[in-house]
Structure 1
Amino acid sequence: MPAAPNAFDVLSHPSLDHAGGGRPSREAPSPIAQLESAELFGEGKIVYIMHNGARYRLQATKLGKLILTK
């Protein structure tokens, strides 16, 4: 029985090569940024995020949920 692929094998699959070369990458994936919501919101409940030229609104609700709208 073949071993299940690990995350590195899946993430480096040639189909995910956006450079167009179609070759798997052997570079280690870059770490993913993680922030606490308090770092984003500070004392407020709304922050605006610019993404690809569009402005998004991230809002924290009274129940502690997050709502992202364009």
Structure 2
Amino acid sequence: MDKQLLPSSESLDLTLSTKQDITPALRQRLNSAELFGTGNEVVIEHAGEEYRLRLTRQGKLILTK
């Protein structure tokens, strides 16, 4: 009977860390304080549509169309 072995957590961690090492170079990082300034909402235009990114009183982010 053939048994398929799942990758060990050690090899899985290696795979994830490799992806994590590559991904940040492909992403731009913005600080929310720079993005919001003194306000609590920004408008993002994407594909001709407007989206609103709001900062709540609890410090969470909400994105709405």
The normalised TM-score by structure 2 is 0.63
Which of the numbers 25, 46, 69 marks the counterpart of 2:64?
A: 69
Q: Letter of the 2:15 partner, please give it.
A: N
Q: Which structure has greater helix proportion? A: 2
After superposition, where does 1:26-41 map in structure 2 within 5 Å? 31-41=26-36
Structure 1: tracts of 5 or more residues without a match? 11-27
Instruction: State the SS of the aligned residue for 2:58.
Output: coil
1:31: Cα distance to partner?
A: 1.9
Question: Is 2:48 the counterpart of 1:53?
Answer: yes
1:52: Cα distance to partner?
A: 1.0
Structure 2: tracts of 5 or more residues without a match? none
1:6: Cα distance to partner?
A: 3.1
Instruction: State the SS of the aligned residue for 1:64.
Output: coil
1:34: Cα distance to partner?
A: 0.8
Structure number, greater radius of gyration? 2
Cα-Cα RMSD: 2.7
Q: Letter of the 2:39 partner, please give it.
A: G
C-alpha separation between the residues in 2 aligned to 1:60 and 1:31?
Answer: 25
**Identical pairs, percent:** 47
C-alpha separation between the residues in 2 aligned to 1:6 and 1:46?
Answer: 37
